[in-house]
Structure 1
Amino acid sequence: MPPATELRALPETGTTEPEGRRLKLARLRDLSLVPVLLVLCLIGFIVSPAFLTSDNLLGVGQQSTELSLLVLAQALVLIVGRMDLSLESTIGLAPVVAVWLVLPDHGARFNGLGLLPEWTSIPLCLLVGAIIGLINGFLILKLRLNGFIVTLGGLTLLRGLQIAISEGQSIVNVPRSFSYLGSATWLGVPAAVWICTVLFAIGGSTLAWLRHGRALYAIGGNAEAARAAGIRVDRLVWAVLIIGSLLAAFAGILYTGHYGSISADQGSGWIFQVFAATVIGGVSLNGGRGTLFGALTGVLTLQLVVNVMTLAGVPPLWNQFLNGAIIIVALIISRFASGEKQE
């Protein structure tokens, strides 16, 4: 019998398959949306020659950054077999709380407390995100509450707190530190695009080559087998929940800088796009499967579809319908492509 450290988490079906075949299938799933992206680019060029201009493509990249960070966060959480619905509220609440503590009362529609200097706004925003992830982890892992219900309740609670603190008003007077990263340009490319690229590269490298990254797949595939192999399951899952909320808070910083304000409903409804991107990108809702490259191609697919529709003059009211259709089609394709047996 092999030592515990050599145990590998297996799918719940109990079936095994050669390692080489598994790797080939994983690579195919990673690249499955690349042809779709190329076809979308061709359609976009046919619809409007302006599609392939640098201004349009950089604009698509800029508009994808905040959603990309939420997808990165959700992909990590899904890989360990969990789900976090509160991310869409964290992207709005974390900046609001940070600005509320930093900005003084100057008689405007939004009155802050002015307790801390402006330079602390970004650390405060990230701290709020970390606290949200910490609380989610405590409720899910220590109190053993249902993760779906906990984060669903968190989504509603955090959204209500955001509206209460902001008094339902958009905050237009934001600290300069908040506006820089979302609006700056480095080497002709939006800084937010560089930042997202680096974060996805770090996350993808961690999952592919580092021991703790590979452990996340083991936890998502079979948590009990991972625990028997000596993996500290609860500690890693808790860390992923905190990292996910941190990424959502950072996405709020980029979004605020991009648009120069914090809207009262910032992030509302984004969770549907997040799941659409992760699912069509090959990340399994059952845990233990998927890559960040696939998730990133899912984001780009959604954004290019919207961009092509906009250039073609299709009303944006159809976007939500299209996102839902993409999720359903992706689930069907994933079901037959993976060969999984389902009851």
Structure 2
Amino acid sequence: MLLRRARELALVPALLLLLLLGALVNDSFLTERNLISVLGSSAALAMVVLAESLVLITGKFDLSLESVVGIAPALGALLVLPVAQAGFGTEWPAALALLSILATGAVLGAFNGVLVVKFKLNAFIVTLAMLIVLRGLLVGATEGKTLFGLPESFYTLATSTFIGIPMSVWVAAGAFGAAGLMLKYHRWGRALYAIGGNPEAARAAGIRVERVMLGVFVAAGVLAALGGLMQTGYVGAINANQGQNMIFTVFAAAVIGGISLDGGKGTMFGALTGVLLLGVVQNLLTLAQVPSFWIQAIYGGIILVALMIARVTTGRAQD
């Protein structure tokens, strides 16, 4: 128990060490502007990590979340844009288009959940197929173009601030806080851990396993769609590659944050520190002008190290 707890808290001194290293490497690293930039650029990732963490705790996977990050806001944009700007020409009100983004995430999450929970299909294969399908739909719907000229409300989460910090950061922090309290104190949260630990025992204890797991997939889809909206506001546009390869970073953040790939273990605090750690690492590498492909290689190395640490701290083999 102490080893597992230490695994989650180990990222805190690691973060402090990276902050110290960054201050030594680059004078602008610890400036208020740069630190806020790190938080702002990590907000969308944080929402997807939160979504994936909830699914992982139940012992399942959802690889399609990176495609939801792209397709959900793109659909909202296409519904609100005129034909002249590559939209569908429906020109929906911005508020309705924003609701459609969250609805798209919920529908896609429900579809994944039905295939995995009701039809008993392998979650890894199902969501991998959905990742590919949704990526193709995104490219086809946008015709490979970048969507500009969106209503200001599409950018609000990233551009509006409260005490100098983007609203997207506050929303992500609030979502992690709410999820952490739910997992620790609410019966639904305890049910997630029980299902991830032993679904048959959870079912015998009276937990409606199928209903809870379906709800997790829906919630994950909504969170990923919201993360996609944050990403849209941060970038200022939507392109056909939005969210591509994001799932690797998501898994890296979740795993190094202590979320078990075997299910039933992990906390939101650990997942959040994983997000912050990768955000700081990426910022450091960017300031050092390290090419992006090396950043991906470093993320892969971080995952491998985290898996080895998990093997030691849990004391059991990983399937």
TM over 0.5: yes
- Larger Rg, first or second structure (1 or 2): 1
Alpha-carbon separation, structure 2, partners of 1:124 and 1:30: 36
Equivalent in the alignment of 2:112 = 136
Alpha-carbon separation, structure 2, partners of 1:191 and 1:154: 30
Amino acid at match of 2:157: L
Equivalent in the alignment of 1:79 = 57
Greater shift, 297-306 or 64-73, is seen at 297-306
Alpha-carbon separation, structure 2, partners of 1:342 and 1:102: 46
Shift of the alpha carbon at 1:116? 2.5
Deviations 1:278-329 (A, max 9, x none): 1111100000000111011111111111111222332333101100000001
Tell me, yes or no, if structure 1 residue 193 matches structure 2 residue 175.
no
Greater shift, 114-123 or 71-80, is seen at 114-123
Counterpart among 86, 90, 100 of residue 78 in structure 2: 100
Equivalent in the alignment of 1:120 = 96
Amino acid at match of 2:75: V
TM-score normalised to structure 1 length: 0.90
Equivalent in the alignment of 2:264 = 288
Tell me, yes or no, if structure 1 residue 229 matches structure 2 residue 205.
yes
Q: Is the 8 A contact 2:159 2:167 kept in 1?
A: yes
Counterpart among 134, 145, 148 of residue 121 in structure 2: 145
Q: Is the 8 A contact 1:78 1:284 kept in 2?
A: yes
Residue aligned with 1:52, SS: coil
Alpha-carbon separation, structure 2, partners of 1:173 and 1:226: 49
Tell me, yes or no, if structure 1 residue 323 matches structure 2 residue 302.
no
Residue aligned with 1:230, SS: coil
Equivalent in the alignment of 1:66 = 44
Amino acid at match of 1:297: T
Tell me, yes or no, if structure 1 residue 44 matches structure 2 residue 15.
no
Alpha-carbon separation, structure 2, partners of 1:25 and 1:210: 25
Alpha-carbon separation, structure 2, partners of 1:57 and 1:87: 27
Counterpart among 124, 128, 134 of residue 158 in structure 1: 134
Shift of the alpha carbon at 1:155? 0.2
Deviations 1:190-222 (A, max 9, x none): 111111110000000000111110110000000
Q: Is the 8 A contact 2:3 2:313 kept in 1?
A: no
Alpha-carbon separation, structure 2, partners of 1:291 and 1:159: 30
Equivalent in the alignment of 1:4 = none
Tell me, yes or no, if structure 1 residue 211 matches structure 2 residue 180.
no
Greater shift, 271-280 or 256-265, is seen at 256-265
Equivalent in the alignment of 2:242 = 266
Counterpart among 143, 146, 150 of residue 174 in structure 1: 150
Residue aligned with 2:48, SS: helix
Aligned CA RMSD, in angstroms, stands at: 1.3
Residue aligned with 1:172, SS: coil
Unaligned runs of 5+ in 2: none
Alpha-carbon separation, structure 1, partners of 2:228 and 2:253: 19
Alpha-carbon separation, structure 2, partners of 1:135 and 1:324: 30
Alpha-carbon separation, structure 1, partners of 2:154 and 2:248: 26
Shift of the alpha carbon at 1:117? 1.9
Alpha-carbon separation, structure 1, partners of 2:155 and 2:291: 30
Greater shift, 219-228 or 169-178, is seen at 169-178
Q: Is the 8 A contact 1:121 1:175 kept in 2?
A: no
Alpha-carbon separation, structure 2, partners of 1:319 and 1:223: 37
Q: Is the 8 A contact 1:103 1:113 kept in 2?
A: yes
Equivalent in the alignment of 2:69 = 91
Residue aligned with 2:28, SS: helix
Q: Is the 8 A contact 1:72 1:295 kept in 2?
A: yes
Alpha-carbon separation, structure 1, partners of 2:178 and 2:262: 24
Shift of the alpha carbon at 1:340? 2.2
Identity over the aligned pairs, expressed in percent? Answer: 49
Residue aligned with 2:29, SS: helix
Shift of the alpha carbon at 1:342? 5.7
Equivalent in the alignment of 1:303 = 279
TM-score normalised to structure 2 length: 0.97
